[in-house]
Amino acid sequence: MRIALELDCRDLSCPMPVIELARHLGDVAVGELLAVVARDPAARVDVPAWCRMREQEWVRADVADDGHEPGGPARHRPRRR
């Protein structure tokens, strides 16, 4: 699954990762994946909930193992509908 746009929200706290997701949803085409990379533990609940409320597809969460930090922050993957 190729990510069309990755949002670096590592240093943002709730509710900013979801606000950034909402702001940038229109930057990708319908059917494309976004990624929200966040350390904020609330994003684990907030991103899937936002997807349900906005009728977007929640795909999954994994670890952003990109060398920025050991273990990496969470990478949340919604798909635009």
Query: What single-letter DSSP state applies at residue 45?
Result: H
Task: Identify the CATH number of the domain in which residue 53 sits.
Answer: 3.30.110.40
pTM, entire model? 0.90
Beta-bridge partners for 61? 76
CA-based nearest residue to 24, from 35, 15, 13: 35
3-state helix, strand, coil in the chain (%, to 5): 30, 30, 40
pLDDT digits (tens, 9 = 90+) for 2-24: 999 999 999 999 999 999 999 99
Instruction: Give the number of other CB atoms < 10 A from CB of residue 69.
Output: 11
Number of domains in the chain: 1
Q: Which domain holds residue 71?
A: 3-79
Q: What is the pLDDT of residue 1?
A: 76
Backbone angles phi, psi at 72, to 5 degrees: 70, 155
